[in-house]
Structure 1
Amino acid sequence: MNRKYWVIGGISAAVVAAIVLVATLRHGGGSPQKWIAKKYSQTGVGTYRSPKPPPAVAAEINKKHKAIDRVDDLARLGPQGGIFMRYPKLVVGVLPDGTGSRITVDTPSSGYGRYHSHVGGYWASPGTNGWNSRGVGSFRGGGPGSGK
């Protein structure tokens, strides 16, 4: 093979690698759950703590991992409310906890059940596989003729 083609191939591979690296770093390099576990202090299974108030914590999480939808009832309910973010396979709750925040990370069904009084009028219940990118409950078919 000609040296010219090797150089072009090398440059192309470097450009593709740079694009993949930037996309990975921009997205936070993984799931919201993993990022939250690294960023905040764990206080229990799926529960974390931050000294910052809920709006600041929710903004940090959403900046790193854009939620499908978000419900904020802090203005209406005060310390009884929270900020709830919906992801395809997670529900993240950010609740007032003293001067800081308590962050919970749940599966779609358990998070929807736990926070139904806050999100029930806004979110549809999740499907068996969470929500799709439009926020609709995902469902993997069934019934006559499926999978044929």
Structure 2
Amino acid sequence: MSARTRVRAAAALLAGALLATGCGGDSDPDLPMSWIKDHYPEDPDRSPDYYIDERDTPSIVADEIEGERAAMDRLVSDSMVFLRYDNHLVAIEPRTAPDHGSRIDVDTYASGRSRYSSYVGSHWPAAQSRSGSDFRGGGPGSGK
């Protein structure tokens, strides 16, 4: 077997291992996305990335999702529940009459925080990589 063939075989094995373990592609092990897709139907009025639970309240749905994968943080604001994951935000809100249950919105952290900033803006940082507030610090001559 030539060196070129060995390199190709090793690359194929590595790619197969990444796919088998879920480490390839855009999968995020911190987000229970596949679990949400398996347990809640898509919202026909708002898909993709919107799902519904026809009977449970947002708090119960959040408990179910966190039972599968714990969130970094959980925020309850008004009648909504927000779950913060590494690169994603899950927003759960009650469905409006005549429907019952909850609507689940799965979004990237940046888009979700922007969309729901009136709820989460004072609690969670603007960029997920930051752990504190959005204060830039510094003072005179700090190079801002």
Same fold, TM exceeding 0.5? yes
Q: Which residue, 94, 97, 100 being the options, matches 2:95?
A: 97
Q: How many residues align?
A: 97
CA RMSD of aligned residues (A): 1.9
Match of 1:33 in 2: 33
Check the 8 A contact 2:80/2:92 in 1, yes or no.
yes
Asked if 1:59 corresponds to 2:57, the answer is no
Match of 2:137 in 1: none
Unaligned runs of 5+ residues in structure 2 are: 1-28, 133-144
- Between Structure 1 and Structure 2, which shows a larger proportion of helix residues? 1
Check the 8 A contact 2:95/2:103 in 1, yes or no.
yes
| Separation of aligned partners in 1, 2:87 and 2:122 | 20
Moved more, 100-109 or 30-39: 30-39
**Structural mapping, 1:1-148, within 5 Å:** 31-43=31-43, 44-51=47-54, 52-74=56-78, 81-98=79-96, 99-126=100-127, 130-131=128-129, 136=131
TM-score, length of structure 2 as denominator length:
0.62
| Separation of aligned partners in 1, 2:74 and 2:31 | 17
| Paired residue type of 1:116 | S
TM-score, length of structure 1 as denominator length:
0.60
**Residues 81-120 of structure 1: CA deviation (Å, up to 9, x unaligned):** 4100100011000001032000000001101001100001
Q: What is the CA-CA distance between 1:30 and the residue it aligns to? A: 7.4
| Separation of aligned partners in 1, 2:111 and 2:125 | 14
Runs of 4+ in 1 over 6 A off after TM superposition: none
Query: Kindly, what percent of the aligned residue pairs are identical?
Result: 35
Partner SS state of residue 42, structure 2? strand
Q: What is the CA-CA distance between 1:31 and the residue it aligns to? A: 3.5
| Separation of aligned partners in 1, 2:112 and 2:30 | 20
